[in-house]
Amino acid sequence: MTAPLLSIQDLKVAFRMGLRDGVVQRAEAVGRGTTTVSFDVAENQTVALVGESGSGKSVTAMSIVNLLPDNAERSGRVMWRGRKETAGLAPSGSPAGSMDLLQADRATLRALRGREIACVFQDPMSSLNPVFTVGQQLIEPLVTHLGLKPKAALARAEQLLGEVGIPEPARRLKAYPHELSGGQQQRVMIAMALACEPKLLIADEPTTALDVTIQRQIIELLARLKASHGLSVLFISHDLGLVGEIADQVVVMRHGTIREQGPVAQIFSDPKDAYTKALLACRPALAEENPARLMVIDDHIAGRAPQGSAKPKNPDAPVVLEVKSLAKSFWLREGLFGRREFKAVRDVNFRLRRGHTLGVVGESGSGKTTMGLTLLRLHEPTDGEVRFDGHNLLTLRDAERQVMRRRIQIVFQNPYASLNPRFTIGQTLVEPMTIHGIGANVTEREQRARELLAKVGLDDRAFAKYPHEFSGGQRQRVAIARCLTLNPEVLVLDEAVSALDVSVQAQVLNLLKDLQDELGLAYIFISHDLAVVRFISDEVLVMKDGEVVEQADATTILRAPQQEYTRRLIGAVPKGWQPQTV
């Protein structure tokens, strides 16, 4: 029997958390109590690690090449059986051609990273160096690991960019990361990872923040590179729909332990563990009737029955926001003294009714976020009207705009960046009330803040804590509570759930629906996730190149799209594993 390329055996990872009463405190991240984590990755195989945030997926993967903080403690074995060249790297007593990576010294791991094992991470902008060009960053591993001369390295770098599908690769070598789109940045990361032709690629949530068409391109690229390079892939994701399309084997993790593992067909067609079944079921469906609420993981495990269909909205509800011919242009420098107009948003028109949700979808660069920010005058508009309560928001003076801004709020995609790390949660919620004169005194404002925390599902202890003490889903709840402090009538939600795993995403979507039913809120829900948009939206705008190309109710636009662009967006949504037909 051929030995696997990578064999993780009885792995446990814990983090030292300091001393308490003279005893070192440890937090178990992978392996709990007597349980450990074990699985194999064979040559030319894709193994997917799936589970919610905090399940131990990334810690397990980063343990392989020891990209963990200094307070991490690892035990077990991580056996690497690579080419014959690695035999010389093996510690004494290891079989020829294999080595235990947990016992390898720094020099050995440095030789393996990039050369034999490469990594692609979730956020390419935090992985790419902003002060170096794409070419400089691609050349570095070629010179360091392969010893290529600069001229040969440059030629190889251009070839790599072409291989991952970046147009005009010679010109892109001179570009800086911020000059590329998110999908292009991720392609650059993949090109860097493949520069030295590694045997194993660790891909940690590489498509989470990308729109559906770019996501489709990236997974097809990985599949093509796997076939052409004989590559093995350890693919980490919380999206089982995506995993079903790319994986050969699936390992399901929860709370640092493996709940189930097996071939992808078995996991999808006949899951054994209740947690696996719950993961498969709690994502909103693109083709099915919308339920009143999404089932979350604990609902499925407890065997609770799903609720009935969502209640229809009042079609004659009053219009709270009317947008007419909205446009936004940016002026870009061209040459030494010239400039050209870039029309980011062009002639957008819609009406939003009280208690309704308008979904806005499109690829990256389609103008959907710019449109949302222009509504709030976080970008100054070029043309158009935004009518709210009888006023055109785009022509209000500063004092008038301050009053209106209370009534239209925004929730951003990244809760880690939108909360002040130096403010407690209580301070974060009280500050906007103080600025806008809501509440008679500090005591009254603090009481309202505590009530809002309870409304978004956080207990009273959260009031004195700081943002870093909460998960991503909890931070997003705080961001929503902060908006509610001002009693808004309209919320703009800009990719507000795209970075959350499926169960937390379901909780936040249910919360948004509950708040809408209770308070009559109107939402502008900007997203690249069509399944989520179908669940929460009453009407959908499809945007492309700054223009609305299609507009209809959510059911019609997803079941009978009129535009080829809309059909392409729907076709790019991951469908999960499908049985092979003869």
> What's the pLDDT score for residue 579?
66
As a whole number of angstroms, the distance between CA 203 and CA 233 comes to 7
Region 449-456: what's the mean pLDDT?
Answer: 91
Query: What six digits make up the tokens of 411?
Result: 């929730």
Q: Check residue 250 and give its pLDDT.
A: 96
Nearest in space to 369 (alpha carbons), one of 348, 397, 395, 341: 348
Residues 6 or more apart whose CB falls under 8 angstroms from that of 25 comprise 16, 17, 18, 19
How would DSSP label each residue in 541-555? Answer: EEEETTEEEEEEEHH
Predicted pLDDT of residue 209: 65
What pLDDT does residue 495 have? 85
Q: How confident is the model at residue 578 (pLDDT cuts 50, 70, 90)?
A: low
For residue 83, what pLDDT is reported?
38
DSSP letters spanning 234-257: EEEES-HHHHHHH-SEEEEEETTE
Is the pLDDT reported for residue 363 higher than 80? Answer: yes
Q: Mean pLDDT, to the nearest integer, of 436-460?
A: 91
pLDDT band at 84 (very low <50, low <70, confident <90, very high): very low
Low-confidence winner among 264-278, 287-301, 549-563 (lowest mean pLDDT):
287-301
Percent of the chain with pLDDT over 90: 44
pLDDT-derived band at 1, boundaries 50, 70, 90: low
Does the structure show a pLDDT above 50 at 88?
A: no
What's the sign of the alpha-carbon dihedral 158, 163, 169, 173?
negative
Query: So what's the pLDDT on residue 221?
Result: 84
Higher pLDDT, 73 or 293: 73
Q: Report pLDDT for 332.
A: 78
Residue 413 has pLDDT above 80, yes or no: no
Q: How high is the pLDDT of residue 100?
A: 92
Residue-wise pLDDT tens digits, 106-147: 888 888 887 889 998 877 777 889 999 999 999 998 998 888
pLDDT tens-digit series, residues 315-333:
899 999 999 999 999 987 7
Domains and CATH numbers, the chain: 319-407+488-571 (3.40.50.300)
Query: Distance between CA atoms of 529 and 3, rounded to whole angstroms?
Result: 40
- Taking 80 as the threshold, does the pLDDT of residue 416 lie above it? no
Rounded to 5°, angle at Cα 433 from 430 and 434: 85
DSSP state, residue 381 = -
pLDDT for 97: 58
Q: C-alpha 34: how far from its chain's center?
A: 32
**For the residues 395-403, what does the mean pLDDT come to?**
84
* pLDDT at res. 89: 46
State how far the Cα of 8 lies from the Cα of 176, in Å rounded to an integer.
38
The per-residue pLDDT for 582 is 41
Global pTM reads 0.82
- Decide: 112 and 83 in contact? Cβ < 8 Å: no
Q: How confident is the model at residue 240 (pLDDT cuts 50, 70, 90)?
A: confident
433: left (phi over 0), alpha (psi -120 to 50) or beta: alpha
Rounded average pLDDT over 222-244: 87
Determine the average pLDDT of the residues in 185-189. 87
Banded pLDDT at 82 (limits 50, 70, 90) = very low
pLDDT of 96 = 44
Report helix, strand or coil for 277: helix
CA–CA dist 582, 575 (Å, integer): 19
Mean pLDDT over residues 508-526, rounded?
A: 92
Q: What is the mean pLDDT of the chain?
A: 87
Three-state SS annotation for 467-478? HHHCCHHHHHHH
Over residues 158-176, the pLDDT tens digits come to 999 988 888 888 988 999 9
Who wins on pLDDT, 83 or 252? 252
